[in-house]
A and B are shown apart, each in its own frame.
Chain A
Amino acid sequence: MSIETPTPESHPGGDPRYKLVDRALKRFQYRQDALIEVLHLSQETFGYLGEALLTYVARALKLPPSHVYGVATFYHFFTLKPKGEHNCIVCMGTACYVKRAGEVVEALEGEFGVKAGHTTEDGKLSVSIARCLGNCSLAPLLVVDGEVLGHETPESTLAKVRAAVGKEQAE
């Protein structure tokens, strides 16, 4: 279930996902100041902001593509590359850091051969670091495929991430 790169040709002919983007554009009445909202929704729909998608949004809002690109690259939330099938976010807020979240990240990087902020070569796993997820009493904290896990150690993390990635392979 890899995500296709949206191409200019895929609209309006085929890709139904653009309809969702259109709906967002309409809801905000094509107002240029709604750019961030539209990008949020586009990323939710496509998983990432491909070049064609950014161009599409730029045209619809009558904004220079450079402006749209500038906004999309400024914010950490927007990603211009597809994410892995599974993702593991390690919180590196101060509380987690003081409780040694750094060791968790090192363990993940060593085990899966991927730098934080990147995806493994086979596209299975993305490891990323969050600034602070605001659940400091659970420190160190991680989120594996949307599930919040607290009080982690390097060992418990590896076991859980292995399980998440391995599940897919077993099927």
Chain B
Amino acid sequence: MRVADLKTMAEQESAALAVFRARLLVCYSAPCLAAGADAVREALEKEVAGRGLAADVQLVSTGCLGPCSRGPMVTVSQPGQADAVYEKVTPETAVAILDHHASQGPPADGFRMSPENPFLTRQMRVALANCGLIDPERIEDYIARGGYGGLAHALHELDPSEVCFEIKHSGLRGRGGGGYPTGLKWNLVRKAPGAKKYVVANGDEGDPGAYMDRTLMESDPHRVLEGMAIAGYAVGAEQGFIYVRGEYPVAAQRLDKAIKAAERLGLLGSRVLESNFNFRIDIRIGAGAFVCGEETALMASIMGLRGQPVPRPPYPAQKGLWGCPTLINNVETFGNVPDIVSKGSDWYAASGTPKCRGTKVFALCGQVENTGLVEVPMGMTLREIVYDLGGGIPGGRAFKAVQTGGPSGGCIPASHLDTPVDYEGLQQLGSIMGSGGFIVMDDRSCMVDVARFFMEFCLDESCGKCVPCRAGTVQMHRILTRITQGKAGPDDLEKLEALCEMVRDSSLCGLGQAAPNPVLSTLRWFRDEYEAHIHEKRCPAGVCRLTPSEGGER
């Protein structure tokens, strides 16, 4: 396929879609399916066939649209009109919606999500731009929306150093949580000597409560592939790996299908878009190890070894897979790349804050009215995310904390809700941006119990290579368990703090270094809760069952 063919295909596809009077996009992702999206689609199919509307109305099964707690979602797209989004659709309302949009029936406004709903208006969708609006299994849908245009532009109009410059200039930083400037990393790999180089997409989304990478891989797989191919061209790699978490079989299937479709059209494989650039992508399925989100452990896993990290330096950019320079970025980072290249770095750099450009996807969940996936410009405050997009706490309860960054992050109290979200802002509060988990807790959550929960996670997921992490997490977990059981002594807090510092300073990789974060941040903001457990033998939130006894171990 040539660049001209790509353009023709996009035009043809758009023309083919313009024929339909209405396109009904049924969200077919797991939350909507569990809410009954299947029955909705069935009812629509029957109705469309029964009325002989097949030539006027198109039914599409899409990936995730975002407002997951309001599913099943149906979006109606009509030429010349703004998209109408319907929530909590049942088979009956689906027919009413069809009536209104295809047969001039009365409007079904009762089920329509208001176009002014902040959940829709406050978002800025870059990585998620196509999610919920295209059929993820059709490459044509992606191309019709400008897909692979970034790759075509890079291959035919820019040289590799210019691509790296664009990325650097855009201010994009690693969306996996580290926040390392992506352009710098690309340049390091580009300049690293070596005949063979690799590109790796990290889709091992292990943080509990985070699912943006899954959504992106399931709902818009080609965007990730295009981002990887652009990276391959920029750094001089011919082989890419996408490491998908074992818990996400659908993502792996869709990526597999997407790779094959792209290869068939000459958008991956040999001589991509008739240029001299070759790029292959292989999928590697993870096998359930949180530590594999760490880049050196992930590379070990790709090479068929136990996923244990190794000390850095040498960084993967110098010595990665099989000793060759390797570029590792998160799936969401790659998801931003195609638009940066096709629309220009200035466009991307215009959003966000001076230090953190662009957008970030958050998985909004926990005790909040609207759960789901949101992509917001950097610099939006936590309060806006919780109350405007999230719609506040259900049942009129009080907000207590928001947990970001999973087991490596921390809890942020109500007094700091006006902090703008960016890497540094969250770090100052003792948390991290992380991959984008955003869990809201109300007054029924006990912070000590939450810290114990995360410590149990880290203790279980510690790979066992270095002693501070392997033994330290066990000791910290013991103390936390004692506290939640009401068996802790007055000096336990001091011991806990000392252990936290030791594990943080002396662990080999990010897992251990960040494992004390949930404890440190809850100690910092909710120390009174720890003290109530220890001195008064009571749990302020009423979660822990305290059974004081004489100095029992565990």
Contacts and interface: CB of A to CB of B under 8 A. Distances in A.
Interface of A: 32-37, 39-40, 70-71, 74-78, 92-95, 97-99, 130-139, 148-150
Interface in B57-84: 68-69, 71
Contact of A71 (B214, B245, B304, B437): B304
Given A131-B457, A137-B372, A93 B307 contact: no
A131 B208 contact: yes
Contacts of B367: 98-99
A36 B69 contact: no
Contacts of B285: 36-37, 40
A95 B68 CA distance: 14
B323 to A, nearest CB: 13
A134 B289 contact: no
B209 A33 contact: no
A95 B287 contact: no
B205 A36 contact: no
B287 A136 contact: no
B510 interface: no
B69 A39 contact: no
Which 3 residue pairs spanning A and B have beta carbons closest together? A93-B208, A137-B68, A75-B287
A136 B362 CA distance: 12
Nearest to A93: B208
B445 A33 contact: no
Contact of A134 (B71, B247, B403, B406): B247
A95 B457 contact: no
A150 B304 contact: no
A37 B284 contact: yes
B363 interface: yes
Given A75-B288, A132-B206, 5 more contacts: A36-B284, A71-B305, A74-B289, A76-B289, A138-B34
Nearest to A94: B209
A88 B435 CA distance: 28
18 contacts: A32-B304, A36-B285, A75-B307, A76-B289, A94-B366, A95-B371, A95-B439, A98-B445, A131-B206, A132-B206, A134-B210, A134-B211, A134-B214, A135-B211, A136-B209, A137-B371, A139-B365, A148-B33
A132 B208 CA distance: 5
B511 to A, nearest CB: 13
B146 interface: no
A94 B453 contact: yes
A57 B292 CA distance: 23
A36 B246 CA distance: 11
A75 B247 contact: no
Contacts of A97: 208, 453
A35 B457 contact: no
A140 to B, nearest CB: 11
B304 A138 contact: no
A45 to B, nearest CB: 15
Interface in B388-440: 403, 406, 437, 439
A76 B513 CA distance: 22
A71 B288 contact: no
B100 to A, nearest CB: 27
Interface string B15-37: 00000000000000011011100
B219 interface: no
A136 B306 contact: no
B333 interface: no
Contact of A98 (B302, B439, B457, B463): B439
Given A98-B367, A137-B69, A36 B209 contact: no
B34 A149 contact: yes
B288 A76 contact: yes
A35 B305 CA distance: 8
Interface string B210-229: 11001000000000000000
A34 B371 CA distance: 39
Contacts of B406: 94
A164 to B, nearest CB: 17
A148 B439 contact: no
B87 interface: no
Contacts of A34: 304
A75 B34 contact: no
B301 interface: yes
Given A98-B366, A98-B445, A132-B208, A138 B289 contact: no
B289 A135 contact: no
B34 A95 contact: no
Given A94-B406, A94-B437, A35 B68 contact: no
A99 B366 contact: yes
Contacts of A78: 287
B193 to A, nearest CB: 23
Contacts of A33: 302-304
Contact of A77 (B287, B290, B403): B287
B459 to A, nearest CB: 13
B141 interface: no
B451 to A, nearest CB: 12
A95 B453 CA distance: 12
Contacts of B69: 137
Contacts of A71: 304-306
A130 B437 contact: no
Given A33-B303, A137-B372, A132 B284 contact: no
Contacts of B286: 75, 77
Interface in B156-193: none
B339 interface: no
B248 interface: yes
Nearest to A89: B247
B363 A136 contact: yes
A33 B33 CA distance: 37
B31 A138 contact: yes
Contacts of B371: 95, 136-137, 139
A154 B258 CA distance: 40
A75 B304 contact: no
A148 B33 CA distance: 9
